[in-house]
Amino acid sequence: MPRSFTAQAQKIDAATPDSRNREVDFLRAAAITVVVLGHWTIIAVSVTGGIEPHGLLDEARWTHPLTWLFQVMPIFFLVGGYSNALSWRSARRKDVGYAEWLRARLRRLGLPLIPLLLVWLATCIIALSLGAEPAAVQLASQMALVPTWFLAAYLIVAIVAPPCLVLWEKWGWWSIVLGIAAAGIIDIISISTGSTLAGYPNYLLVWASFHQFGYAWLDGRLSSLKRCLLIFVIGAVGLGLLVGLGPYPVSMITAGTDTISNSAPTRVTMAFLGMAQAGIVLMLQRPLAALLRSPGLWMLTVLVNQRIMTWFLWHLTALTALAHMLLALNAEALLPTPLSGVWWLTRPLWCLGLLAITGVLVVIFGRFESAQPDDRPAPPVWMPILAAAAICVGLAIMADVGMVNATGVTWIWPLLPLVGMIVFGVVRLPRRRSYRD
């Protein structure tokens, strides 16, 4: 290990307060990394088939049970609950109000979106002007913006995190039980009527309910092995019953061959999957904490977290760009038949290539995660709420349909989050200088 790396790692390790929960940072970084690698593997690209968004899951049903391990978005909501509760309680102690707190969260999550939306808006305009088929541009933009559905769901949960914390502090475990029960009722209505739209409230109910396990973690209510084991058993048994006896598919990631998706819209199965996963990772908390005392591993964790939004938001742009370039070159030798032996053997090289491209994008656009301190007065409470609503609506629709339809660019959806952040004060506009005579 180079001496400079070791010195820097030891410096970061020494500067980390003993009170910091390093496991939270590690799990956040690990969860997003697993999502990235999963997307790069699931999406199949070949000269004959083009880009198949669910290629691996559609062609190899044996992979569906593996999604119980690789669908790790619940872990991100677990650490999100821990972090949001810690942040909001700190804000309360400092007399920082809800509006100011929410604006700060929106800046952290929303500012890295700006270059992504602008780049893809420009890409779609240029591609269509050069004669590209609208359907092809629509698919490309939709694929690249898939990560934004999660961001929209997380922003919705962030809006309600403070009142949900009040419910947790007042009702404890019942606040989670009642939320998951309500999500189950929504599923019954949605699935029995065949209405996907009727299931949309579960983006809030499921994730906000499971998010509260992060509150429990912070409050020491999940510190014993017995309780973590109980959470795991409830999650595993519940998930097994829902999939085995209910209408839910095995795959926890949307597959084109399934009539019902567990994730789009979010189903109650994701809460039980999250409980099983949370039980496992929290049972491993002590050995993980010991591992993270290694300065090298801790430095890597810190570096990933510093650019985690950029890493997450741009990883499918890297895949889309590389796939289209190879398809345009008819590079059959570099695009082996999906699921063939050669295809499996070349997956590490494929991921390394995408890692390099994503790394360049992170270097270019990562600066948007380093927002300047915001010393503005607290805004009216309606401003950050409307900003969050504008972001969520625009992102949710683009993740579903992309930026293009048969008639051209759908301007309203990419511009809605951008305009919402500017008009409602998330983006800090440059101050006008005043000069005295």
CA angle 68, 69, 74 (to 5 degrees): 80
Q: So what's the pLDDT on residue 28?
A: 95
Q: So what's the pLDDT on residue 399?
A: 78
Q: So what's the pLDDT on residue 206?
A: 97
From first to last of its 437 residues, the chain has per-residue pLDDT tens of 566 778 888 888 788 888 888 999 999 999 999 999 999 999 999 888 888 888 899 888 999 999 999 999 999 999 999 999 999 999 999 999 999 999 999 999 999 999 999 999 999 999 999 988 998 899 899 889 988 888 999 999 999 999 999 999 999 999 999 999 999 999 999 999 999 999 999 999 999 999 999 999 999 999 999 999 999 999 999 999 999 999 999 999 988 888 899 998 999 999 999 999 999 999 999 999 999 999 999 999 999 999 999 999 999 999 999 999 999 998 888 899 999 999 999 999 999 999 999 999 999 999 998 877 888 999 999 999 999 999 999 998 887 778 988 888 888 889 999 999 999 999 887 665 544 44
Q: What is the DSSP string of 55-75?
A: HHHHH-GGGGGGHHHH--HHH
The answer to whether residues 34 and 23 touch, using CB atoms and an 8 Å cutoff, is no
Q: So what's the pLDDT on residue 193?
A: 94
Q: So what's the pLDDT on residue 406?
A: 83
- pTM, whole model, 2 decimals? 0.92
Which whole-number Å values give the CA distances from 222 to 75, 82, 212, 219, in the listed order? 15, 12, 12, 8
CA torsion, ordered 183, 185, 191, 196, to nearest 10 deg: -50
CA angle 274, 344, 322 (to 5 degrees): 85
Q: So what's the pLDDT on residue 431?
A: 64
Q: So what's the pLDDT on residue 424?
A: 94
Nearest to 316 by CA among 19, 38, 15, 21: 38
Q: What is the DSSP string of 74-100?
A: HHHHHHHHHHHHHHHHHHHHTT--HHH
Q: So what's the pLDDT on residue 386?
A: 96
